[in-house]
Amino acid sequence: MQYESVIGLEVHVQLNTESKIFCGCSTKFGAEPNSQTCPVCTGMPGVLPVLNEDVLNKGILAGLALNCEIAEYSKFDRKNYFYPDLPKAYQISQYDKPVCTKGYIDIMSDGKVKRIGITRLHLEEDAGKLVHSDDFTNNVSFVDLNRTGVPLAEIVSEPDMRTGEEAYNYLTKIKSIIKYINVSDANMEEGSLRCDVNISVREVGAPKFGEKVEVKNLNSFKAVKAAISYEYERQLSLIESGEKNLIVQETRLWDADRQETYSMRSKEDAHDYRYFPDPDLTPMVITREYVEKLRSELPELPDEKKNRFVSEFSLSDYDADVLTSVKQLADYFEETVQKGANPKKAANWITSELLGRIEDPEKISDFPVKPSGIAELLKLVDNNTISGKIAKTVFRDMIESGDAPQKIIDDKGLVQVSDSSAIEGIIDTVLAGNQQSVDDYKNGKEKAIGFLVGQIMKESKGKANPQVVNELLLKKLNK
């Protein structure tokens, strides 16, 4: 029997506003504990929360970028639970009337485009941070309420994914889109992007889903992928051993050290949140004019940019995908082209030579070689001043010294030698010293020519024009 996993993701992104969602406290990361709190976010009686309009705007922008319908009427609700990370004993969230619904994004799956539905995007406040003492004899926990009230958008997908790979690609795409529209830093390490996984296993094509499990505590996209594969195997082995009843609806936590999930809460403790409309916050009536005004502020999104790169610059799907995954990288590429580089060669150079040398493509503007430098370097290859191979050497030097390519070439005498007489001299020396290879070639071993070219290039310190070398060498050998 063939089985498959059915996966849905809940992604929380922290919206990058200056102040919190319902009060004026700063959202700045890394402040002294409890230094960014006030009566509203610490849940004092009698206070009045007021919605930060930028939170609404950024939520709508994210919804538009995720192809969602924007509600004409939306409201906030209270989600009730006791936990010291929220002193009010409820979280202000959205229940039945979220800001955005029914969206989708397209991801790659097995080389094909697959559409993943987005059920909803809703706005809510974050909870505080609990710090647990390492000292187990110490029977206390520590609460920092700086994060309480920081704005979040929760993006819930349809259960449309079937593999860890699809989940990974979905997350990458969500992150890319969110960063393009600049509504969040979307940094998993800093907690501004968080993800929970819902996963069940069923026979391929079965009409119903299996019992689903929620997995939390996933701190990287890789962990999401690993947890999915672990859960699939765990549930599958229970199904195959006839213990399907042991798969229960529960929350499990991912243990990154052990690479496994463990049960956190069982069904009987399942939360009863008793949602009801928050009487302190007024409903939001969102006019179509307002939505269209926000829509007009949307920048070109990753998919649009990718399609344009393919049609305008004739890039391969793959190169266009890599270059548009991060906006700063796409901008760097376009500027390189604007400075006169051949688009395909620029794409090739950036993806194969440059990307391996930087840790974070978002910080490409800090890279010592600017787009104009790449454009100039590629032009020097195009007009045969240097060979492609020497260009790599020059590139390394540009990174270290920050000098212009022409200066490096002049200083180090790297100009390509295309002059036949100079090259002929080198060829003659090499042929004289490698009679065996010459004989091999003449006896039909065509491969020998590769060795000879290599020797000639080496003798010329890489400066000989490979095309001229090939031509002249063949001429001499076939004489």
Partner 1 sequence: MKIDENDIIKVAKLARLDLTPDEKDEFSRQLSGIIEYVEKINELDTSSVEAADHIVELNNVVRKDIVEKSIDRDELKKIAPDFADGYIVVPKIIE
To the nearest whole angstrom, how small is the minimum distance from the Cβ of residue 277 to partner 1?
A: 4
Residue 144 found at the interface with partner 1 (CB under 8 A): yes
Residue 100 found at the interface with partner 1 (CB under 8 A): no
Q: Residue 443 burial by CB count (10 A; 0-12/13-18/19+): exposed, middle or buried?
A: exposed
Residue from 1, 113, 140, 432 touching partner 1 (CB under 8 A): that is: 140
Contact (Cβ atoms closer than 8 angstroms) between residue 147 and residue 20: no
Residue from 75, 175, 212, 327 touching partner 1 (CB under 8 A): that is: 75
Write down the residue that tokens 């299996």 correspond to. 210
Residue 263 found at the interface with partner 1 (CB under 8 A): no
To the nearest whole angstrom, how small is the minimum distance from the Cβ of residue 54 to partner 1?
A: 4
Residue from 3, 4, 10, 34 touching partner 1 (CB under 8 A): that is: 34
To the nearest whole angstrom, how small is the minimum distance from the Cβ of residue 121 to partner 1?
A: 18
Residue 279 found at the interface with partner 1 (CB under 8 A): yes
Residue 477 found at the interface with partner 1 (CB under 8 A): no
Q: Is 117 helix (H, G, I), strand (E, B) or coil?
A: strand
Residue 452 found at the interface with partner 1 (CB under 8 A): no
**Separation in Å, CA 97 to CA 8, 121, 183, 274:** 20, 10, 21, 15
Residue 266 found at the interface with partner 1 (CB under 8 A): no
Residue 141 found at the interface with partner 1 (CB under 8 A): yes
User: In degrees rounded to 5, what are phi and psi of residue 122?
Assistant: -125, 160
CA distance 404 to 398: 7
Residue from 36, 91, 176, 336 touching partner 1 (CB under 8 A): that is: 36
Kindly tell me which of 145 and 390 has the beta carbon lying closer to partner 1: 145
CA distance 3 to 5: 7
Residue from 178, 284, 323, 426 touching partner 1 (CB under 8 A): that is: 284
Residue 283 found at the interface with partner 1 (CB under 8 A): yes
Residue 115 found at the interface with partner 1 (CB under 8 A): no
CA distance 367 to 353: 13
Residue 142 found at the interface with partner 1 (CB under 8 A): yes
Residue 219 in tokens: 């701190």
Helix (H) or strand (E) holding 439: helix 435-442
Residue 37 found at the interface with partner 1 (CB under 8 A): yes
Closest CA to 54 of 88, 24, 86, 12: 24
Write down the residue that tokens 């004026």 correspond to. 24
Task: Give me Rg for the CA atoms of the chain.
Answer: 30
Kindly tell me which of 18 and 439 has the beta carbon lying closer to partner 1: 18
To the nearest whole angstrom, how small is the minimum distance from the Cβ of residue 41 to partner 1?
A: 9
Write down the residue that tokens 């690993």 correspond to. 226
Residue 139 found at the interface with partner 1 (CB under 8 A): yes
Contact (Cβ atoms closer than 8 angstroms) between residue 337 and residue 298: no
How many Cβ atoms sit within 10 Å of the Cβ of residue 317?
13
Kindly tell me which of 48 and 246 has the beta carbon lying closer to partner 1: 48
CA distance 460 to 236: 62
Determine the distance from the C-alpha atom of residue 219 to the mean position of all C-alpha atoms in its chain, rounded to a whole number: 14
Contact (Cβ atoms closer than 8 angstroms) between residue 98 and residue 71: yes
Residue 267 found at the interface with partner 1 (CB under 8 A): no
Residue 359 found at the interface with partner 1 (CB under 8 A): no
Residue from 45, 46, 82, 432 touching partner 1 (CB under 8 A): that is: 82
To the nearest whole angstrom, how small is the minimum distance from the Cβ of residue 43 to partner 1?
A: 11
Sites for partner 1 among residues 163-222 (CB under 8 A): none
End-to-end CA distance of the chain: 68
To the nearest whole angstrom, how small is the minimum distance from the Cβ of residue 258 to partner 1?
A: 19
Residue from 7, 9, 11, 56 touching partner 1 (CB under 8 A): that is: 56
Q: Is 94 helix (H, G, I), strand (E, B) or coil?
A: coil
Residue from 67, 80, 109, 316 touching partner 1 (CB under 8 A): that is: 80
The residue count for binding partner 1 (CB under 8 A) is 52
Contact (Cβ atoms closer than 8 angstroms) between residue 52 and residue 232: no
Residue 272 found at the interface with partner 1 (CB under 8 A): yes
CA distance 203 to 280: 47
CA distance 394 to 410: 11
Stretch that binds partner 1, among 15-23, 192-200, 379-387, 435-443 (CB under 8 A): 15-23
Binding site for partner 1 (CB under 8 A): 17-19, 23-26, 32-39, 42, 50-56, 75, 80, 82-84, 97, 130-133, 138-145, 264-265, 272, 274, 277, 279, 281-285
